[in-house]
Amino acid sequence: MSNACLLRDRYLLRDCSSGTRKIPPEQLSVYQEISKLNGFVDRMGLPTIKQTCKELGIDSHGVKHEHHKKEKLSEAGLFVDRNVDFFEPLLYKHEIIEFPAVLVSSRTATVVDTFHEYIRPLINTRLSTFCTNLTGISQSTVDGSETFLNVHDKFLDWMEFHGLGSKYTFSLVTDGPFDMGRFLYLQTQHSSLQYPAYALNWVNLRKCFSNFYKPTYHHHQGHQHEKTSTPGLQVMLGSLGLEFQGSPHSGIDDAKNIARIVIRLLRDQAFIRINEKIVLDGGHSQRHSPPNPGRLQT
């Protein structure tokens, strides 16, 4: 059975009186109770957990997971939202034209720094009117910008300057799976660049948000979003009583608003962890030898 079938079948439950019907798990009291308990445990400090285990007669020593030994704890979050040029044809080769990132300390729950560059496309050099109207990025802006390879090198230097991956561990956080799994992947193919190791896995904020705030989120949204598996950026902000700051579809403004949501999650003591990755068929490609199509895993 394929993964798609497994995911679909999770929503099929047997009702003896009316046959088979689709019932989203979040509507069942047992799932709501589990979500509440998970949130309660996530907010418990280590001393409280050890004391609770002692009271329940449970061994509190535990085993440290291998990925914790390897990566320790993420001390920084890097929030990205890349803009690409837009056009309708199926075979159109999309290119990244805006590269923003916001660095947040998970210890202090504050913004440390931002990275922001526009990019000059090399395949489709003229932006469509739709793209300009949607993103607010003008033709003159991209014409005066550097290419993706140069901007990406700047980004790597910026990461090194902040000690990301050396002095500090970090996690990429995105609004959905496509910034890394589609747009960055396609751009590395266009640029004959090896897909970067730092982007092999990331935190899909929509999943993290929905899991942590699930009872509150579904109560806030009522019935209109019952069939929506994960909330979008505007919905997440609205659920927290926040308004979008800046211009919608601006990459840097989207990244800043993603950071605002994650800061709220950190202050609410949510457990933010990597929940998606890309698997490159045939392993890592070498520069000037683009990888075979990759596939997303959760």
Whether the per-residue pLDDT at 118 is higher than 90: the answer is: yes
Q: Mean per-residue pLDDT for 149-158?
A: 96
C-alpha angle 85-89-91 in degrees, rounded to nearest 5: 90
| Token couple for 69 | 């030994």
Q: Element (H or E) spanning 209, and its range?
A: helix 205-212
**The CATH number, out of the four listed (3.40.50.720, 3.60.15.10, 3.30.420.10, 3.40.1110.10), of the domain defined by the range 75-297:** 3.30.420.10
**Residues near 154 by Cβ (< 8 Å), separated by ≥ 6?**
115, 117, 146
Provide the 8-state DSSP code for 157.
H
C-alpha angle 213-267-297 in degrees, rounded to nearest 5: 55
Return the minimum-mean-pLDDT range out of 37-41, 65-69, 99-103, 150-154: 65-69
- Could you tell me the residue ranges of all domains in the chain? 24-59, 75-297
* Digit-coded pLDDT (tens) for 36-65: 666 666 666 667 777 776 666 665 655 444
pLDDT score for 77: 57
Q: pTM higher than 0.75 for the full model?
A: no
Percent of the chain exceeding pLDDT 90 equals 42
Q: Mean per-residue pLDDT for 191-201?
A: 94
Query: Mean pLDDT, the chain, as a whole number?
Result: 74
Whether the per-residue pLDDT at 262 is higher than 60: the answer is: yes
Return the minimum-mean-pLDDT range out of 3-17, 54-68, 131-145: 3-17
CA pair distance 20, 13, nearest whole angstrom: 6
**Residues near 10 by Cβ (< 8 Å), separated by ≥ 6?**
25
CA pair distance 251, 82, nearest whole angstrom: 6
Answer left, alpha or beta for residue 222, where phi above 0 means left and psi between -120 and 50 means alpha.
Answer: left
Query: Count of alpha carbons within 13 Å of 270, Cβ hemisphere only?
Result: 23
**Residues near 166 by Cβ (< 8 Å), separated by ≥ 6?**
160
Residue positions annotated with a catalytic role: 88, 249
pLDDT classification of 78: cutoffs 50, 70, 90: low
What are residue 249's phi and psi, to 5 degrees? 75, 5
